[in-house]
Amino acid sequence: MSLDLQRPTDLGDVSNLGQSRSSISDFRRPVGVDPHQIEAEAELRDVLQRLQFSASPITLERLQEIYETSMNEGGGVLPVYSRSTAELIVDVLMLRCSEKTQSMLHPEITPAAKHSMRLFFQFLQHSEQVQDVLETKSAHELKRTLKFERHLKDPDREHVLLAGDLIAYLSTNYPKFANWEAYVPPDAYHLVKESFEDLPKESFELQQPRLSMDSRPPTTGLYYDTTPEDVLKIFNTSATEGLSSVECLERLRIYGKNALPKPKPPGVLTILKHQLMDFMVIILIVAAVLSAALMDYIAAGALIAVVTVNVLIGFTQELKAERALASLASLQIATGTVIRDGEQVQIENELIVPGDIIVLQDGMMISADARIIEVHSLQVDEAILTGECALVSKKVEPIYVSNLDLGDTKNCAFMSTLVAKGRGKAVVVATGGSTEVGKISGALASAKTEKTLLQKKLASLGRILVLIAVVLCLIMFVVGLIRGFSVIDMVHISVSLAVSVIPEGLAIVVTLSFSFAAQSIAKRHAIVRKLPSIESLGSVSVICSDKTGTLTEGKMKCEEVWVAEKKYTVSGPGSKPEGDILNDVKAKVHAHEMSKSLLDAMMVSAVCANAQVTLAGSEWVLSGAPTELAIVVMAQKAGFSKTTFTDGTHGNLEFVSEIPFDSERKRMAVVYQNEGEMVIMMKGAPERVVERCKLFRNSHGEDIPLTAEITQVIEDTGMEMASRGLRVLALGQRTCHSLSDPTSAQEVEAKELTFLGLVGIIDPPREEVGPAVAACHAAGIGVIMITGDHQITASSIAKQLGIMTEEEEAAGTYVRRGVELDALSDEDLASMEPFPKVCARVSPENKLKIVNALKARGEVVAMTGDGVNDAPAIKFANIGIAMGITGTDLTKQSADIILLDDCFATIVAAIEEGRRVYDNIRKFVLYLLSANSAEIWIMLFSITIGLPPPFTSVMILWANIFADIPPALALGVDPAEPDVLSRLPRDPKAGIFNAWTASLVLVQGINMALISAIVYIIALWVEGYEVQMARTLVYATLTSIQLVHAFSSKSVRATLFRRATLNNKWLLGGFCISFICLLFGIYTPGVNSVLELVPFPIWDWLKVVAACICHLAVMEFIKLLFRINASLQNTDDAKFYREI
């Protein structure tokens, strides 16, 4: 169906243009999607993708055919396209509309551009999905791509009418495009008006225009390229009257509450389900069911008890972590100031709707995304969203740039950011989930959580053990039948063997080890939300860290002052006035020793600022903008506060006026009166202060002419300071007898000032971070700084902290900006060599891209941060780490671990704990599997040679739970090895077992089984013991060997005869408890009958002791061979640990 270019006269004619502009409710969606439609849409996408690269007539004609065929088959309605297809239609055709001839002086549109506009209009009229996509476009994008000025000047009269129809359609049906002058250049206004004159009014004035307030509200968005007047029109609101209360209720119904879609915290049942779905727990439940089916209710009860204990421990720990997180969550802002019914009122934030006029005031948290329409020196702290510490000066003028970064959207205000200075008004353009913060929150709420590496490895181990159990049971069953055992007997024996294969204590010991580790980490000021993430910490190979507030203090500090061509450094922290002004030899400069130049610089710093630093009890309270706080703190370190210059100590200044800072002038000036004279003080960007100065204060305190040579020195000094990551402010001063108008910026800032000097400000690195980074490097862990800050500042901080060296910075390949990352595909970034160590000016999308690229390289990634912009990367990293003090609620909800002290060094301590945990997990896994394999081998051996089974399932369960768990649990809290932080991270792809460890388990298990089997055979065949007595003796022998084997399991290489063998008091206690349980099971009447054990003579314990000594001797011999092999290959401990 082609577009009818005749001017319609009857809206009832469905083939004419007027009907195509009718209410969106006239378009009906088909009920289902058939295969033919899927095939047709695939062809449409193929044609559009070809059209991206070449607008050939053949391709355009084919697209026209597809359109007409779809319209005919749909009875005048296009099929329902997918969102991605609709976006392709809009983006490709709008782009092709701008195609022009190559003439430099008189470019004209090409036939392809004319055909593309026709197709664009046709799809727009008849596809609701295309209409939805167009809502996301801005007036600036229409102006840039559709190029109406060229189409309206085309010689073809019919095409000019088509262009006019499209403008009429857009301006009538979309309130955001109502002002067509915003996307049509002024020199084409008359052409639009002429086109409109030829178009009957009723043909484009709809009864229910799309997205009008009579049907649906305006589309939410930032509208940064739209004038304030047009935004007010689009949202049908007034800057002075605001919305009416009745209208707000309707909009609240349409848009919903202004609340963020928070990730749903796990409930009690969810946490319980998570514990029950652990693979090892499922295995134990299955084993319990099998035991119950065989009427072995004691064994079934014991297994259920194991499951219950394991689940309760894990459930309790996760519940405690979630409650601790809830207690950390900061209170969400409750109210905001809006204009409604012509009055300023305080309302709950959840009730704010698009179109509301919010009043922005100093110190308030912004309640929603808004387009600013009025400013008075308005500055906003957006660090929570962009990661940049510096305040953003706001303005009202539209910004005509495509794909604008949030940090550069200076005419918009964002939810959860803070008004640091000034005041203003803004019209709300997005609320709740539609805000920038809401989009991030929504994405995180729907994200799935991946299992940790250890969870995957233990699940894999569990599957292997189940397979082994099945195979061994079948072998045992067949061998038993061959040896003459009955089917019933062999079923019981096979179940006993299956119980031997499965280490029932493993799940409990793993959970308890994590729980103990979580408590240990909590003592180091971190909360573990998910227990298995502790182990993942131990395998971290790269830490991606946000800069502001994590690596740095998140507070601006004056680092140095350049006055009268002399440089002074400022010591002490930036958060309190404790420190000194030091000269070039690092000697303190006292107040009475200061030159006039330096004294005046301190006065300007103290007085030309609105920040306050006061002492409340023993705590310093800071209020004001970060930059102003920095210079005020510096002045107070020198011994000068604002009152020092107003109370007669160093002057009697009286405030007269202030010319506030704004983004255009980039400076601030104050006027004070002192003993009949006017004193003007100024601070601001160096170039903007220098242009107001004609004198320079030299080292002798004299004001000399500000020559070109001196100006060059100032510029060079400022550039040198900036190259070290310092933010540079300039200070100026002027004294005069009078001012006719002290409120006039033109008069106050006349080119009569004296240039005093420069101040270098920086967000300083945390003192503990440098050593922590060095510890990371020693542990083979890379550190990458990811920040929204400038690359010069980021590089400077990275060098100070040791993240990057001078040589690496000079190479130019270790520092990348966000725009460079945008240009790379995911595959290109993942394969980049060398991988960047500093990523500056990055967006939340860039951070997530970096994390995914590192994971694709096989790295185990920990991502740290505190702002909303860090949350996506934190969520999708292997380990997400949030700051507990400065971190937002959203960031904490996304994290696995929360640092209570916001200290990077705590991460290193947590990694050390994670490595210790993994080492210990390996120790007790090897211990448990060696012990359980011994039970398997002796069972198989006994049945094969015709001996009665040495153990029943109840005996095995008693040994596995009461004898094995206490030592295994003690191994789980074994102290860290001395080299735990000097090894390389372990290979994340490596399983718990490899050739070394599997061989070790095999040898240890066979040795324990062989020694115990010899005792069993001697008891039955030599000494003639009854079966029950022989079983008890071999049971005591194997259990005792397993207990002493726990001490040997502390190290797979080091000898047992060393001091560290007895450094674990819990292992000594576990040994005693297990041995007591062994004696209790043998010698306690009633209990021994349940366990099918009988007391045996005390001298038989000599056999047990001898068996233990034999086992330890064999183990020591094997360790000796390990050490000899390592010395021959010159393998150090770190390499050996990595190999095994």
Of the ranges 215-224, 269-278, 856-865, the best mean pLDDT one: 856-865
Tokens of 179: 């002002």
The pLDDT, as a whole number, for residue 24 is 27
Tokens of 1080: 């209790």
What span, in angstroms and rounded, lies between the C-alpha atoms of 534 and 918?
9
- E strand residue ranges, 836-940: 838-840, 861-865, 879-883, 897-899
Of the ranges 215-229, 286-300, 933-947, the best mean pLDDT one: 933-947
Q: Is the pLDDT of residue 876 over 70?
A: yes
The pLDDT tens digits of the residues spanning 977-1028 come to 777 888 888 776 666 667 777 888 889 999 999 999 999 999 999 998 999 9
- Specify which residues 346 forms β-bridges with: 337
What span, in angstroms and rounded, lies between the C-alpha atoms of 382 and 391?
7
What span, in angstroms and rounded, lies between the C-alpha atoms of 414 and 972?
48
What span, in angstroms and rounded, lies between the C-alpha atoms of 116 and 122?
10
Residue 22 neighbours by CB under 8 Å, 6+ apart? 11, 206, 207, 208
The pLDDT, as a whole number, for residue 23 is 27
Q: Is the pLDDT of residue 208 over 50?
A: no
What span, in angstroms and rounded, lies between the C-alpha atoms of 1044 and 684?
74
The pLDDT tens digits of the residues spanning 34-72 come to 556 667 777 787 777 777 666 677 778 888 888 888 888
The pLDDT, as a whole number, for residue 30 is 37
Tokens of 710: 């001196």
Q: Is the pLDDT of residue 92 over 60?
A: yes
Tokens 């096989």 -> residue: 858
Q: Which residue has the higher pLDDT, 204 or 1061?
A: 1061
The pLDDT tens digits of the residues spanning 3-33 come to 333 333 232 222 233 222 222 222 223 334 4
The pLDDT tens digits of the residues spanning 529-588 come to 777 777 778 889 999 988 877 888 878 899 999 998 899 999 988 888 989 999 888 899
The pLDDT, as a whole number, for residue 16 is 31
Residue 903 dihedral angles phi and psi, to the nearest 5°? -105, 125
Q: Is the pLDDT of residue 217 over 60?
A: no
Q: Which residue has the higher pLDDT, 738 or 443?
A: 738
- Specify which residues 729 forms β-bridges with: 759
The pLDDT tens digits of the residues spanning 592-629 come to 888 889 999 999 999 999 888 888 888 888 888 888 99
- Specify which residues 184 forms β-bridges with: none
User: How does DSSP classify residue 434?
Assistant: G
Nearest to 898 by CA among 562, 528, 637: 528
Question: Does 546 qualify as catalytic in the annotation?
Answer: yes
Nearest to 321 by CA among 825, 882, 744, 849: 882
The pLDDT, as a whole number, for residue 1103 is 94
The pLDDT, as a whole number, for residue 902 is 82
Which amino acid type is present at position 186? P
Q: Which residue has the higher pLDDT, 389 or 241?
A: 241
- Specify which residues 816 forms β-bridges with: 839
Tokens of 53: 């690269």
Predicted model pTM: 0.65
pLDDT average, residue stretch 112-122 = 89
The pLDDT tens digits of the residues spanning 664-716 come to 778 899 999 988 889 999 999 899 999 999 999 988 888 999 999 999 999 99
The pLDDT, as a whole number, for residue 14 is 24
Q: pLDDT category, 222, cuts 50, 70, 90?
A: confident
Q: pLDDT category, 206, cuts 50, 70, 90?
A: very low
The pLDDT, as a whole number, for residue 198 is 59
pLDDT average, residue stretch 896-908 = 86
What span, in angstroms and rounded, lies between the C-alpha atoms of 48 and 91?
10
DSSP notation for 435-469 = SHHHHHHHHHHTPPPPPPHHHHHHHHHHHHHHHHH
SS3 358: strand
**Of 225, 278, 356, 546, which is the active-site residue?**
546
The pLDDT, as a whole number, for residue 546 is 82
pLDDT average, residue stretch 492-498 = 67
Nearest to 471 by CA among 829, 936, 1118: 936
Q: pLDDT category, 1033, cuts 50, 70, 90?
A: very high
- Specify which residues 426 forms β-bridges with: 358, 372
